[in-house]
Amino acid sequence: MEAWADKAAHDFHMAQKYTQAFVAFHEQFHRKMTFETINPESS
């Protein structure tokens, strides 16, 4: 689980080569991967 301060921080993380490599490697082992946005301020 990872948490981000905002969408911009998440977008920055997802644009990094190491993140893209991690996702690409793990996709082969799963039928699908689900990413959810958790907003603690909505509670």
- Asked, for residue 24, whether it belongs to a domain, the answer is yes
pLDDT score at 43: 56
Taking the CA atoms of the chain, what radius of gyration do you get in angstroms? 12
- Asked, for residue 40, whether it belongs to a domain, the answer is no
In eight-state DSSP terms, residue 29 is T
pLDDT score at 42: 65
Domain region containing 23: 1-32
Low-confidence ranges of the chain (pLDDT < 70): 1, 39-40, 42-43
pLDDT score at 27: 85
In eight-state DSSP terms, residue 21 is H
- Asked, for residue 25, whether it belongs to a domain, the answer is yes
Q: How many domains is the chain partitioned into structurally?
A: 1
